[in-house]
Structure 1
Amino acid sequence: MPAKLEGKAVTAPPRPSHTDPVALSSLAEASAARLIARSPETTVTGATLRAQHVRHGDLFAALPGARVHGADFAADAIAAGAAAVLTDEAGAARPAVRDSGLPVLVHDDPRAALGPIAAMIYGNPSAKLAIIGVTGTSGKTTTSYMIESGLAAAGHTTGLIGTVETRIAGERLASAFTTPEAPDLQALLAVMVERGVTHVPMEVSSHALALGRAAGTKFAVGAFTNLSQDHLDFHPDMEDYFQTKALLFDGRSAREVVCVDSEWGRRLVTPETVTVSTTGDADWTASDAHTSLSGEQSFYIHTPDGAKVAATLPMPGTFNIANALVAAACLSAAGVGIDAIVSGLSTVQVPGRMERVDLGQDFTAVVDYSHKPEAVALALDAIKARSDGKVIVVLGCGGDRDTAKRPVMGAEAARRSDLLVVTDDNPRSEDPAAIRAAMLAGAESVPEAERGEVVVIGDRRQAIATAVARAGSGDVVVVAGKGHETGQEIAGVVHPFSDRDELAAAIRSRGVRT
């Protein structure tokens, strides 16, 4: 059961103001679906897989699920005005569908068919946009914001689709998923076309690729950042995780950009691939990186044509230089010049990614979204490299997700911190104490001489307050895991909670005035 938002209603995703009717017979022919209909010329003007979001004239996608079948909600969809149903043989046999009298598209894999069908219904909007898809374990959000900043510097009207938010020509929408469900995505892209958007950086998650959310979408550029342990609650192993990410490079992307700093990236390279590296030979490389006390980096970008261009980036970490190179290569592939690329990188702002909370205190306070072992290690390494003070870390692990990474995250954080406060982070339906215990076991597996002090405080607000109270002049407090998020999911309910706000409140409680 999806989590409830405390005090908030979940709104339907945006749709274009007008769509031309599309005949079911055309959809059946294009998708190789079987059409059960008294009148094959029935038309539809929208699509959704949520009965509560059905509009008059919609195609309702009744998909099989792990616990329930979407066909069980067909009566609600029909009452709301659905004109037809897309489902599998099992769904078509359910009384609510079978006896409805509505036309039914029957497909062996309706989830896989839904993306291309929705794209047809909404006029194939991705063909009218330059969509730049970014996949990888870490860096998708940061790279997408870098790309958007470069596009804006070049004067383009942009959209943005990702973990933090969706933006349409500057208008912000909250994001429910990294990549929206297929009909929602196609409707969103159609809205962007209506509003004059020309270019769209888009995060593409492994879930989206595995579940067909990105099916039916044409990408002008597809990019790969990196791969490390994550989502092994969804994927059986790392190889399956990688092969799912590789689907972005199965021909759906006209141009391909790949960071080759790992063997995973090198496996994706073809003769046409544009390569990026911070450590070796590639089409796009960097050199002479320096980090200021404020965390800003300066470095040189080496382009495929041999140019050496000075660049700055307002965030620390070698991994962010890798993200910047991927962004630069994507922008170049999309026709953006190097001057706009450098300008965009110098001004990019990424919510919850190495984001400083500065209220004039004499220590550094940072909120970061890192919630995977490698991301935690890289973030803390970047912070330690520019700080002589103590590093104090607040970190938890989410429930109902990859359990194997919990002790690893505890160990990585303990090894790099002078004080690690193990706390809660979206326990969801799990026992928070059990999650904390797994992290603590990992932290305590690090030899005592190689780790800092480790304490456990389940209440995340109190954990942040304790970290701030323990900070001295010149120290760094890092609150990791949630970043931009504004909710804490506990037992199926999302309670309002912001690491940024809590960190600021804890700093103020020390007497710092703004």
Structure 2
Amino acid sequence: MQASKLIKSLRFKKIVPKNFEDFSVSLVTQDTREVTLGSIFIAIKGAKVDGHKLVHEAIEKGAAMIIAQEELPAIAVPVVYVQNTNKAMAILSSFFYETSSQALRVIGVTGTNGKTTVTHIIEAIFRNLGEKTGLIGTMYRKIDTEVLKTKNTTPDIITLQRTLNKMVEKGVSTVAMEVSSIALIQGRVWGVDFDVAVFTNLTQDHLDYHKTMANYAHAKSLLFSQLGNRYTHSGDPKVAVLNIDDPIGEQFEADTAAEILTYGIKKEAMIKAANIEIHGEGTSFDLVVFGEIFHLDVKMVGLFNVYNILAAFSAAYACGVDPADIIAALEQFPGVRGRLQLVTSASKVSAIVDYSHTPDGLLNALETINDFAQGKVFCVVGCGGDRDKLKRPKMAKIAVEHSDYPIFTSDNPRSENPQTIIDEMLVGVPEMLEIPTFVDRREAINFAVAMAKPTDIVLIAGKGHEDYQIIGDTKHHFDDVEEAKKALDLKEQGD
């Protein structure tokens, strides 16, 4: 694409010099590490790095044009000045990558808990229909069968548009995408044409960033308020899928012009679950769809997974998929790695690895395990560093009240002292209780497994699918599933 054509997408701008020699754009980027000959470099003023200070580096690497919002000294390439380079980045990347989301069915999922599971179920439903599918989220980006690494739950807008463009090239038709609250505030999904937006729930998380629950709820609401604002007979209408059992779900009804499809268990939702039976191997329930009843036997365990299934079912239903086809996929779905993932052993002690890193997530996991546990429940849990400190005593209190043997340890301490994090967790524990604590997460897992007896269950909470631990600025390989297997093997040898 020629530069002159691309920058026409920016309506309000100043170009210096006004008449520049046109060129073919090779790349649009805000990352100097990506710059090649013929790139347009966008100077983003971030919290840690100001891209305006990296302009000369970008030019040395071949940048042929700069997009800036602050005055730059005279440089050898043309500069396009705009009010906000973040907004310009969203517009330019959308046009450069051919507004790819408009050629796809994009289903966005937001909420505190359940995003990863819901998007995986949605992706499985459409794949089961024979479609090529895409997935974007916490664990990875997936383009049909190709799996790509990801840094954030929702990538930066350029990476996102580039990924969507590649999906179109590979013949993908439906994309299930996790949409984080921080991404919504930072405009990382500006320009993405969502067809269906799904809300799972809202509980405490990310208050280190949002400061208040009201701000956090507002961030989530942006996905629904930005979900189209017109009614048309061409194509499928926009749909907001809302958990009506969560008070925020009801609030979001007023935040969107899209058609509403509600799901729930407690209230009179359009799609709901009844007669729920939870057991160690899965869950059975009746699915009620506008009064029509279908019985389901799924391999996923727990009440919160019933909500996840309802959310995914509703999203597919909103896209016009036949309920029988959705149910066929649901009953085959094996679950998601690191989400109540069972690790068994000959010793009859079981470990369960779960990504329960919020108070609500931990409570859900423990309540689910308590529903089917035959023996005692151990809970190995920590809290991440450089994140919401208010949830630390709350998670500790939940572990104490809902498990027989709580054990506190490190999660991803990052720049914080791991012992300080544990001490802040202990604030939520009655003084008379002595809780075993281990700064070394491996020692905590080994201790719990060694203490457990046949039929006992060890919940290893917080990291789930992650195969690393962040200490300082360094990522070290650490996989809770691997560590659980090693500890269980060692126990068997000892027995």
TM-score (norm 1): 0.90
Bigger RCO of structures 1 and 2 (CA < 8 A, at least 6 apart): 1
**1:63 maps to amino acid:** I
Selected match of 2:248 from 260, 264, 270: 264
Partner of 2:179: 204
Q: Distance in 2 between matches of 1:105 and 1:250?
A: 30
Correspondence list, 1:39-188, <5 A: 39=20, 41-89=22-70, 92-93=71-72, 98-188=73-163
Partner of 1:353: 339
Give the alignment's Cα RMSD to 1 decimal: 1.8
Q: Distance in 2 between matches of 1:35 and 1:222?
A: 38
Correspondence list, 1:232-311, <5 A: 232-252=207-227, 254-270=238-254, 272-294=259-281, 296-304=282-290, 306-311=291-296
1:454 equivalent to 2:441? Answer no
- Greater CA drift, 58-67 or 349-358: 58-67
Q: Distance in 2 between matches of 1:302 and 1:22?
A: 54
For 1:334-366, what per-residue CA distance to the aligned partner results, in whole angstroms no more than 9, with x for missing partners? 222212211222222311101111243402210
Q: Distance in 1 between matches of 2:59 and 2:141?
A: 30
1:361–1:512 CA contact under 8 A, matched in 2: no
Deviation at 1:435, TM superposition (A): 0.3
Deviation at 1:56, TM superposition (A): 2.8
For 1:273-326, what per-residue CA distance to the aligned partner results, in whole angstroms no more than 9, with x for missing partners? 1111111111110111112232x001111113x321112221211111111111
For 1:355-383, what per-residue CA distance to the aligned partner results, in whole angstroms no more than 9, with x for missing partners? 11124340221000010011101110111
**1:330 maps to amino acid:** A
Q: Distance in 2 between matches of 1:56 and 1:300?
A: 59
Tell me, what secondary structure is at the counterpart of 1:392? strand
Identity %: 37
**1:460 maps to amino acid:** R
Partner of 1:338: 323
**1:419 maps to amino acid:** Y
Q: Distance in 2 between matches of 1:384 and 1:123?
A: 50
Deviation at 1:26, TM superposition (A): 4.4
> How many residues are matched?
480
Instruction: Identify if the C-alpha distance between structure 1 residues 283 and 55 changes in structure 2 by more than 3 Å, giving closer, same or farther.
Output: farther
Correspondence list, 1:314-333, <5 A: 314-333=299-318
Selected match of 1:369 from 327, 349, 355: 355
Instruction: Identify if the C-alpha distance between structure 1 residues 251 and 420 changes in structure 2 by more than 3 Å, giving closer, same or farther.
Output: same
1:24–1:40 CA contact under 8 A, matched in 2: no
Partner of 2:445: 464
**2:331 maps to amino acid:** S
Selected match of 2:3 from 11, 17, 23: 23
2:278–2:371 CA contact under 8 A, matched in 1: no
2:347–2:492 CA contact under 8 A, matched in 1: no
Partner of 1:436: 422
Partner of 1:410: 396
**1:433 maps to amino acid:** Q
1:22–1:45 CA contact under 8 A, matched in 2: no
Partner of 1:486: 467
Task: Give structure 1 regions of 4+ aligned residues with deviation exceeding 6 angstroms.
Answer: none
Question: Gapped runs of 5+ residues in structure 1?
Answer: 1-20
1:48–1:184 CA contact under 8 A, matched in 2: no
Q: Distance in 2 between matches of 1:360 and 1:256?
A: 47
Deviation at 1:483, TM superposition (A): 0.3
Instruction: Identify if the C-alpha distance between structure 1 residues 438 and 99 changes in structure 2 by more than 3 Å, giving closer, same or farther.
Output: same
1:122–1:186 CA contact under 8 A, matched in 2: yes
